[in-house]
Structure 1
Amino acid sequence: MIIKYARMPYGSENGGTEWMNDLPARYKDGERGFDRRIMQDLAAVGVPCYTLGDLSNGPRTIPQGIPIFIDWLANLETRIPGPETEHRSAIRSGLIRNLIDPAARGNQEAIDLLIAQVRRQPPIPERMQTWACDALHLIAGPKNFVQIAELLEELPEGTAMIPLVEYLGKVKSPEARDIALRYLDSPARGKAIKALVQMKATGVRHLIEPLVDDRAPAVRKQAQRALEKLSS
């Protein structure tokens, strides 16, 4: 089955391969995120695209692409050796973003790879760390709590850690509750409130009440909803 989306290559709708031999002038192999090998790997499983960036803004889910995204992310430095060029960085970004996919839920290899990307040295740009954490929030489950909690402990305050705070809501345990409470006085406080509601935490209403007057409208709204849902 061919994945269809707005920016798919012209002529690929019915499974033809001619489009791969008639590339737009802006695509040159090994430059700016275009790699013929990835294009061919994905086309072989019914995912026509010129670049991973096109897919990142395309289909909501690409089940048949998940094994390819995982394989390339696991072997990226081998397949594109040398220093981190703009080209390899663009491909890394596309691989990470395309794992923000419900089809990767529970995939331990994908989860391990994304955690490794967040920990990579030298660090990847914060926007990529945020996308990796967005993916972890979506695909990691309660059994991954120890991994996610350890990663959250390592991350400084910033946008990257915010999705992991929301992830805590999947874990109905005192340990997850205590971690979420630590973020009620941080930029992630809105997500911390959401996590506490999702896990049905008890004994936290009095800690959320002051946030009804928070400076951020979204946090005020989240806090009010939480007080309506939490029993104590």
Structure 2
Amino acid sequence: MPAPAQWIRAHERLSHDIAKAAKKAGLPFRTITDLINTDKRYPELLPVLIDWLQNVEAKSGLTTPAELHDFREALYRSLTTIDAMGTEAVPLLFDSFYLQPPAPPIILATIGTALKYLAAPTDYPRMRQLAVDRTLGYGRAQIFEWLLRADPDDGLSVALSELDDPSVRPYILRSLRVIKHLPASLRPHIEPLLEDPDSEVRLQAKRTLAKVGK
């Protein structure tokens, strides 16, 4: 099915702004897809991307929540770059978890992935708050790995408290393996999950148990 004309125009406007800034900086990029797919850095383009995320409704001309969420997702992906650390992109990503109406979990997961790479240690309280907010469903899945790396003791406490939520259970089990030496006290939490109805949970439980001390 062809994309609606309004959607096409919105991407043309964004591409125009990206290409203009890229040309000025001597960079080869022309579209948001170029940025998502490259392994090159583009710090000069971040002001354009941040401006678009801040003002997406006015700049894109899109009006339906579903279109706006889909359009923002590409911006989230393009901002998942090292040069966005410490910029205004980070608070915008936090705020994007709570747009109304809410984004679907798959898009929330994209935001979570971005924050997993961009959040600073000082963001720990906000990341923790996201991790325990069950209204976000599996959109918070990537947050657990960040917590466990940032503060293994508290992160482990948070992860175990959320392990009974099926929407994030396999992600938590996988994330636990970022801890080099998993304590034997985890066995009672993980062993019952070897019989979980979800095959992915069973797989992750088995792999994580292999890392748990005796």
TM, length-normalised to structure 1 = 0.71
Where 1:68 maps in the other structure, the secondary structure is helix
Amino acid at match of 1:34: E
Q: Please say if residues 10 and 59 of structure 2, whose CA atoms lie closer than 8 Å, have aligned partners that are also in contact.
A: no
Q: What's the counterpart of residue 56 of structure 2?
A: 76
Cα deviation, residue 81, structure 1: 6.8
User: Are 2:72 and 1:92 equivalent residues in the alignment?
Assistant: yes
Q: CA RMSD in A?
A: 3.2
Q: 2:197 aligns with which of 211, 215, 218?
A: 215
Where 2:100 maps in the other structure, the secondary structure is coil
Q: 1:164 aligns with which of 143, 163, 167?
A: 143
Between 1:211-220 and 1:76-85, the stretch displaced more is 76-85
Q: Please say if residues 170 and 195 of structure 1, whose CA atoms lie closer than 8 Å, have aligned partners that are also in contact.
A: no
Q: What's the counterpart of residue 94 of structure 2?
A: 115
Gap change, CA 1:59 and 1:188, over 3 Å in 2: same
Q: Distance in 1 between matches of 2:32 and 2:75?
A: 7
Q: Distance in 2 between matches of 1:108 and 1:169?
A: 23
* Count of aligned pairs between the two proteins: 205
TM, length-normalised to structure 2 = 0.76
Gap change, CA 1:87 and 1:32, over 3 Å in 2: farther
Q: Please say if residues 34 and 50 of structure 1, whose CA atoms lie closer than 8 Å, have aligned partners that are also in contact.
A: no
Alignment of 1:43-82 (within 5 A): 43-56=23-36, 58-64=37-43, 65-77=45-57, 79-80=59-60
Q: What's the counterpart of residue 135 of structure 1?
A: 114
Unaligned runs of at least 5 residues, structure 1 = 1-25
Where 2:131 maps in the other structure, the secondary structure is helix
Between 1:64-73 and 1:132-141, the stretch displaced more is 64-73
Amino acid at match of 1:154: D
Where 1:156 maps in the other structure, the secondary structure is helix
Amino acid at match of 1:152: A
Q: 1:34 aligns with which of 3, 8, 12?
A: 12
Alignment of 1:122-201 (within 5 A): 122-156=101-135, 158-185=137-164, 186-199=166-179, 200-201=181-182
Cα deviation, residue 96, structure 1: 0.9
Q: Please say if residues 17 and 48 of structure 2, whose CA atoms lie closer than 8 Å, have aligned partners that are also in contact.
A: no
Larger Rg: 1
Unaligned runs of at least 5 residues, structure 2 = none
Amino acid at match of 1:171: A
Q: Write 1 or 2 for the structure with the bigger share of helix.
A: 2
Q: Distance in 1 between matches of 2:182 and 2:50?
A: 35
Q: What's the counterpart of residue 5 of structure 1?
A: none
Identity of aligned residues (%): 26
